[in-house]
């Protein structure tokens, strides 16, 4: 029963013991481990399809990543806009009352003024504030 349970669930040893304790109250941690070793399944198999975190491909200065986030404070909400250069890690941060397209445009103008070198690429993965050009 223990071997079949392990093969079907691949749970860690402590989790297995917790689930099996009701059916096998005499089962100890060490006895469970010895059983799994005897059957060659004491170690969970390593996953070969695990995602590996790699480094960004090399780029020139001026490749910016922009994000926005809502901050909940005691006196209300604030919206944080941040941009980071992938090469130099130069960072610019600004806070706004709302994450509107108008504030996004203002932030982008401030970023262009704040960075001491030419910006060639801007990447963002969230934030409607950066999706369309607002009517100004």
CATH number of the structural domain spanning residue 111: 3.30.420.10
Question: Does a structural domain hold residue 70?
Answer: yes
Same domain (yes/no): 67, 125: yes
Question: Does a structural domain hold residue 58?
Answer: no
Number of domains in the chain: 2
> Which of residues 85 and 133 earns the better pLDDT score?
85
Tell me how far CA of residue 79 lies from CA of 8, 71, 91, in angstroms.
46, 6, 16
Question: Rounded to two decimals, what is the model's pTM?
Answer: 0.53
Beta-ladder partners of 77 = 72
The share of the chain scoring above pLDDT 90, in percent, equals: 15
Question: Does a structural domain hold residue 107?
Answer: yes
Across 61-89, b (16+ Cβ under 10 Å) vs e yields bbbbebebeeeeeeeeeebebbbbbbeee
Structural domain boundaries enclosing 16: 2-38
Same domain (yes/no): 78, 28: no
Q: Does residue 93 have a pLDDT over 90?
A: yes
Question: Does a structural domain hold residue 56?
Answer: no
pLDDT at position 55 is: 63
């Amino acid at each position: 029963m223990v071997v079949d349970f392990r093969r079907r669930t691949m749970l860690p040893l402590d989790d297995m013991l917790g689930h099996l304790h009701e059916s096998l109250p005499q089962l100890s941690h060490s006895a469970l481990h010895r059983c799994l070793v005897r059957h060659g399944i004491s170690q969970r198999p390593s996953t070969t399809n695990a995602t590996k975190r790699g480094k960004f491909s090399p780029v020139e200065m001026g490749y910016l990543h922009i994000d926005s986030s809502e901050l909940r404070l005691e006196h209300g909400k604030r919206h944080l806009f941040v941009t980071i250069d992938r090469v130099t890690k130069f960072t610019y941060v600004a806070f706004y009352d709302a994450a509107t397209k108008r504030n996004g445009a203002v932030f982008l103008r401030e970023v262009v003024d704040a960075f001491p070198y030419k910006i060639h690429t801007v990447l963002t993965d969230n934030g409607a504030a950066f999706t369309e050009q607002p009517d100004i």
